[in-house]
Homo-oligomer: A and B are copies of this chain.
Amino acid sequence: MQRDLKDRLYEQFARIGKALANPHRIEILELLAQSDRTVESLASEIGLSLANASQHLKTLRQAALVESRKDGLHVHYRLADPGVFDLCAVIRAVAERRLADFERLVQQHFGERSDLQPVAMRDLLDRAKADDVVILDVRPAREFEAGHIAGAISMPIDDLQARLRLLPTDREYVAYCRGPYCVYADRAVELLHRSRRHARRLFEGFPEWRAAGFPVARGPEASASKITRSSRRAGSPRQRRART
């Protein structure tokens, strides 16, 4: 009964599913959720051959999940719709809740992270409004420029060590990166702790922040030199807020 119609509708849904049926393609989508990228840039970041990356992108384009724009020699790919990130996010959520293998993997590699008391998005928003915290975007500059948490300062993880002296020691820092399983923010927090600064990471990454509808900004700007010392108690970090 209506079999033909149903088959055709579900065939369309499965086009999306098929595009998500490969680990490298999901990784491509999550990278594109940070910023546009060229084929070569995606291939080298993920460790794919150029031809292979190009083929995956073709698959994704045929499923209408990405779009491309030609710019001279380069072809820039981008997500076709904010809903594409939702796809990744829901897959991740289900994997977290349901896949024992996934949980084990996370436990092995991020088990110690709970000691670092990641900050929730809502809490960060409140503290940012109170100008209570310095938000550090530790992703590559290109991704910061494509979109970042409003008020954040670009401090790519590779430059952080060299630029530490720009960061007053009496402020509190929250670092964020690409997502909950990206280690950039962990490394940043580690570096900041080593230099006796108070720092935590945002639990999520920028795409989750944007998807939640929290304030974002675009473009370069906000050099670290703008960070002022704490106006509250010069020389000593303010009391840590209680978090449960």
* Interface check A23, CB cutoff 8 A: yes
Set B14, B106, B181: member contacting A23, Cβ < 8 A? B14
Whether the pair A17, B97 counts as a contact (CB closer than 8 A) is no
Contacts of A43 in B (CB 8 A): none
| Given A8-B105, A21-B17, A24-B10, A94:B84 Cβ within 8 A | yes
**Binding-face segment, A34-42, A85-93, A198-206, A218-226:** A85-93
Residues of A within 8 A of B (CB-CB), count: 53
Which of chain A's residues 65-86 have a Cβ closer than 8 Å to chain B?
65, 80-81, 83-84, 86
**A–B Cβ pairs within 8 angstroms, 17 of them:** A2-B183, A3-B47, A5-B105, A13-B23, A13-B95, A16-B94, A17-B20, A17-B25, A18-B21, A63-B99, A64-B94, A64-B100, A65-B94, A80-B98, A83-B90, A83-B93, A84-B94
Binding site for B on A (CB under 8 A): 2-3, 5-27, 47, 63-65, 80-81, 83-84, 86-88, 90-95, 97-102, 105-106, 109, 181, 183
